[in-house]
Structure 1
């Protein structure tokens, strides 16, 4: 019973799922490069990673895949047993997937040094041969396409001060935490660690953010190598919330909660763009239906909590989060 994961080293969501499969000790084959093209034809949205299940079906939305694997395999689950912790782990994973990814995209495609190296590396990864001239020609085309998408995903120079400030805040929190322990909810990793790792794994590779991490956050940088393969880790969930969890929830409440609210309101109003301010910095981008879906899912999971579990979650949720989650 073997899974096949079709992805790429330069894809944060591919690295997220590969690390999760490794930790869960689920037998799998990693396939990248040209092999991914056939798998992309098997899914509705042609984006990696794509997971081929042992029964032959395919899926490629990383968060639902995590929950599906939880239902299929009892051992080494990554959703905490405690319902309040499970909700907060989901919230932090969602924050990583939908907000921290902007740091990955911005660092990779805003500055020429990163554009050149990473477009060439990504072409090299995809083509695996064929000569340097052909590879670099493809890299130039790919670079132009990605740079043209910057405004669409909100990674403009005008927005990047907020994106970078929130990323520094996350890295500050991790740097202080990981010198004491690697995990957030005990001595075993949750879905939150894998979501955060996926995005930061790219910052640890690209020239500009890698230099920044090595200089300012050396232990958070090294932590990435450990999360990449935790197959040898055996641990337990621990009661309560570590200070780092409360701090990450606070940071997410400062930037991601108003982002979700502004996007949802713009969609309701029929607007094509929205603007907000967070951490004293401006932000503007086009509306996205997928982020509205994320908000609905967060509200659904919050409202499904039993009163005692909801009270436990409320203890770490900031007023911004409570207002967002409790709204009708």
Structure 2
């Protein structure tokens, strides 16, 4: 109830209200990243990213927003070790990212569940790939399904589940191997507005409640989204990207109180939330207009 009283007033523009975690060591680092496709002088040459640099402290929830073609998913793939930059350095826990990496979870917009496997066996898939014994896989999968509110659905197949339930299974699968870093590419985009808001709250509850002995969130989240409301309500920090070529327009800490999972429906109607939305929207509109003027 204390948090509800806090957010009913205008929030001060301070990093302390959010969890910027700037004192934590970076778990993910992008240093002067560039990505160029096509020949060096041909008309098919496309600069996807140009001199992009930022760090993500351990335990931070960061969101990247921007117009299509600004390199958001490319950055995500670099962090996963699925793409290499043309120039610059990407470091994950101080090392060049390699795939596969079982300490990293990657969740996509679509649930990507295997239709011939039950919910339990879909969740157990990353554990199976690691050679975890069957009994331990089953116990862990059931634990994760219960965590996302799907106890009793373990034996059902994707075709027997609603879209929201399938997305919960995907969340459970992503977290089953206990990764320290979660990469999420538009994970709630396929859901209707009501289900999306519910799933955002469910995911945020899991993330906020998973803390270490010092009360700090254990997992780092790197979210790519086109949804400014989603970025603002979920993240500690939002980076807005410029397109053509991809560059950082602004890097903003979100000074909303935590935990906020149970207060999402209140937070989105506060004055401070509207101010943050307006500022990010202004930056994003400027980015889109700038990109359009460069391609005219």
Higher helix share: 1
TM band (smaller chain)? under 0.3
Pick the structure with more strand per residue: 2
Q: TM (normalized to structure 1)?
A: 0.24
